[in-house]
Structure 1
Amino acid sequence: MDELNKARKKIDELNEKIALLLDERVALVKEIGNIKKKIKIPIIDKERENKIIEKLSKLNYKSAQFQDIRNIFEKILSISRIIQDCSYNIAFLGPRGTFSEQAAQRFFSPSCNFVPLKSISDIFRSVRVGEADYGVVPIENSTTGSIGLTLDLILESDIVVCGEIIERITLCLIAPKITEFKDIHQIYSHPQPFSQCRKYLEENLSNSELITTKSTANAVETVSKLKNAAAIGSELAGKIYDLKIIRKGIEDTPNNYTRFFVIGKSQVPETGKDKTSIAFSVKHVPGALVKALKIFAERNINLTKLESRPSKTTPWEYFFFTDFEGHRDNKICNEALQELKKYTNMIKIFGSY
């Protein structure tokens, strides 16, 4: 027993030392967060985090496995991001409880100040004038395609794309805690979720009245004040209004994803696992588009998206919105972008992330 107590005493002493070192680290994390905000660079720096883990992997450990050390430090780095994030204003497409907010919280941290705005245009304006540090805007859906307004606003503004979020759209049947499944007579939601859950509703709630709302978040808010009613919305909305999730994942097609852009004012440094988004228009000469695309193929640069959209100012002119793997500062990617200028009337780099 004395041997056990001695070992525990040493553990207690180490715990105190670790706690004080962590306290010292938190102070430095806050200082770095303030510096990042002052010079307008993103909180998340994957390149720096990877270097920290790589440096730790080279140490000689007598008892611990490196994977255990790695797991601990990945948690420390995650908490560090949260500490730095908490002073940031993040604009998203409201109201509260939307999938946009859910995506924003997953990318940043729930401790940030999340600001719901009425429109995508408002989010761009808020970031542009400095009311928000970052904005989260939908760019495309796996079933319904691109969000034209977002593409137009990125093209027209000097806002930088500094991140992306792929959010699985999981639809939940949500109701007050006192409501039982058999007692549901009315279901509230936006028309799109109704269509996405058509099969489930026909098989399980065919006698319930479907009532449309402006958004899934509005539906959940409405149901929070009713009896014998349920809403179709996000899990986050259910938590916000303190309701229960009766069924999760009621959508007919599981492969429903929305891609969001994180927009800001500063470029993100290269990490080695990057993507770049651009738009360009080609000259009206035979083979111009083929020659433009060949530039990427010759350098083995993978295009992950290519979409045309008509110009709003010049009839019959089209912009090609393109995503490719790699960072704009990477030597090969930069060469490709410089070469691309020879075959284009206009090229705009939205950002690497």
Structure 2
Amino acid sequence: MSDNKDLEQLRQEIDSIDTQIHQLINQRAGCAERVAQTKLKEFADNGNADVSKVLFYRPEREAQVLQKVIDRNQGPLDGKTVARIFREIMSACLALEKPMEVAYFGPEGTFTQAATIKHFGQAVVSLPQPSIANVFDQVESGQCHYGVVPVENSTEGMVSHTLDNFMDSPLKICGEVELRIQLHLLANATASSDTITSICAHQQALAQARNWLENNWPGIELVAVASNAEAARMARDDSSIAAVAGDIAAEQYGLMKLASSIEDYANNTTRFLIIGQQDTPPSGSDKTSLIVEVSNKPGALLKLLEPFHTAGVSLTRIDTRPSRRDTWAYVFFIEFEGHQHDEKVSSILSDLSDHSRMLKILGSYPKAVL
């Protein structure tokens, strides 16, 4: 009897806490609505008529809030677990200010959709696009507020289509999100090892699970398709096809898992970029990305990197792509820690501008928090 009484008291305490949490969430939502009204009034008072230009989403502000959640967390829940809860509260509150439409490299069920939800929360309106170029087009035209595109995988390297689209686009990078990639072998309920004759996935997913597939399904044809989600759709409709894809595709297309976590490397992670039309102010923990082209002569790369070394600024990524202006010439995609408005970074950019044929700042943005 004593145990039952203690349990009932604990349940009543939980109910009381839930009521307080509920009240505070609604209080926060009401505050978010007042923020929206204040922004709209300030915008109108400054003589602006086009309210579509009002900035409700502030990437640097959200990064700061989520980092504060992690820093002040004292358990027993993990800091990032609590931050993900706040992520959804912030997403719902932002939707009260103005629902955001975000284009992502689709179709539904891809890891890019999962990254979109991880970064913006469930309340965002996410719109799949058939190509990375289409994501850029939707944001450039103003049809969508932001876009999400993959930029690199920890085992397979850079996504060249994304880098190439930045060459001519006026869009800015305003955020990043990292997603742990877990790949599963999926099939419909009627499939088995006896019926499956081919395994389909995006070429990068096939590459990320190459060793596992060769060891466990030797002799089965591996077929590269447009996306993992397309492979999942094919597997749903055909018991001779298995797909390599993630949880979101399995759920979207109602597939069973023949095997889980088949990626060859346990820490397989893909990084995605958030693209928009505006520059992002400093958050206090930022990265900057740029494209730079130098003359094709001895020591050119050394001169390019020297200002970073002198200033003690850490490079996080450097890659090359063919230049579109000259044969056998290359441009460098460089990412480094710091914001373009930081005094140290500003000095580096000035130095690079003086010694390069072309310099294009793609954006400064908060480091991924979650």
Deviation at residue 230 of structure 1 after TM alignment = 2.8
Query: In the alignment, residue 20 of structure 1 is paired with which amino acid?
Result: Q
Deviation at residue 100 of structure 1 after TM alignment = 1.7
Q: Deviation string for 1:17-44 (max 9, x for gaps)?
A: 6533431211222454685975236444
Identify if the C-alpha distance between structure 1 residues 212 and 339 changes in structure 2 by more than 3 Å, giving closer, same or farther. closer
Task: Identify unmatched segments of 5+ residues in structure 2.
Answer: 41-51, 366-370
Number of residue pairs aligned between Structure 1 and Structure 2: 343
Whether the 8 Å CA contact 2:88–2:121 is kept in 1: the answer is no
Q: Deviation string for 1:266-294 (max 9, x for gaps)?
A: 22221222111011223567645423321
1:40 is the counterpart of 2:43: no
Classify the secondary structure of the residue corresponding to 1:337. helix
Query: Which residue number in structure 1 is paired with residue 25 of structure 2?
Result: 22
Query: Which residue number in structure 2 is paired with residue 115 of structure 1?
Result: 127
**2:77 & 2:183 partners in 1: Cα distance?**
37
Deviation at residue 69 of structure 1 after TM alignment = 11
2:197 pairs, out of 176, 180, 186, with 186
1:49 pairs, out of 65, 68, 89, with 65
**2:313 & 2:285 partners in 1: Cα distance?**
13
1:306 is the counterpart of 2:326: no
Query: Which residue number in structure 1 is paired with residue 48 of structure 2?
Result: none
Task: Identify unmatched segments of 5+ residues in structure 1.
Answer: 58-64
Identify if the C-alpha distance between structure 1 residues 85 and 223 changes in structure 2 by more than 3 Å, giving closer, same or farther. farther
Whether the 8 Å CA contact 2:317–2:336 is kept in 1: the answer is yes
**1:252 & 1:68 partners in 2: Cα distance?**
33
Report the TM-score when normalising by structure 2: 0.78
Report the TM-score when normalising by structure 1: 0.81
Query: Which residue number in structure 2 is paired with residue 81 of structure 1?
Result: 90
Q: 1:265-284 residue pairs with structure 2 within 5 A?
A: 265-283=277-295
Query: In the alignment, residue 335 of structure 2 is paired with which amino acid?
Result: D
Identify if the C-alpha distance between structure 1 residues 129 and 184 changes in structure 2 by more than 3 Å, giving closer, same or farther. same
Task: Identify the range of structure 1 (115-124 vs 66-75) with the bigger mean alpha-carbon deviation.
Answer: 66-75
2:354 pairs, out of 326, 337, 342, with 342
Classify the secondary structure of the residue corresponding to 1:280. strand
Q: Deviation string for 1:77-130 (max 9, x for gaps)?
A: 323322145421111112111222122222222332111111111111100011
Whether the 8 Å CA contact 1:277–1:322 is kept in 2: the answer is yes
1:93 is the counterpart of 2:105: yes
Query: Which residue number in structure 1 is paired with residue 276 of structure 2?
Result: 264
**1:285 & 1:186 partners in 2: Cα distance?**
52
Query: In the alignment, residue 359 of structure 2 is paired with which amino acid?
Result: I
**2:200 & 2:223 partners in 1: Cα distance?**
7
Classify the secondary structure of the residue corresponding to 1:102. helix
Query: Which residue number in structure 2 is paired with residue 248 of structure 1?
Result: 260
Identify if the C-alpha distance between structure 1 residues 248 and 32 changes in structure 2 by more than 3 Å, giving closer, same or farther. farther
Identify if the C-alpha distance between structure 1 residues 77 and 311 changes in structure 2 by more than 3 Å, giving closer, same or farther. same
Whether the 8 Å CA contact 2:172–2:276 is kept in 1: the answer is yes
Identify if the C-alpha distance between structure 1 residues 200 and 298 changes in structure 2 by more than 3 Å, giving closer, same or farther. closer
Identify if the C-alpha distance between structure 1 residues 75 and 92 changes in structure 2 by more than 3 Å, giving closer, same or farther. closer
**1:187 & 1:210 partners in 2: Cα distance?**
6
Identify if the C-alpha distance between structure 1 residues 268 and 33 changes in structure 2 by more than 3 Å, giving closer, same or farther. farther
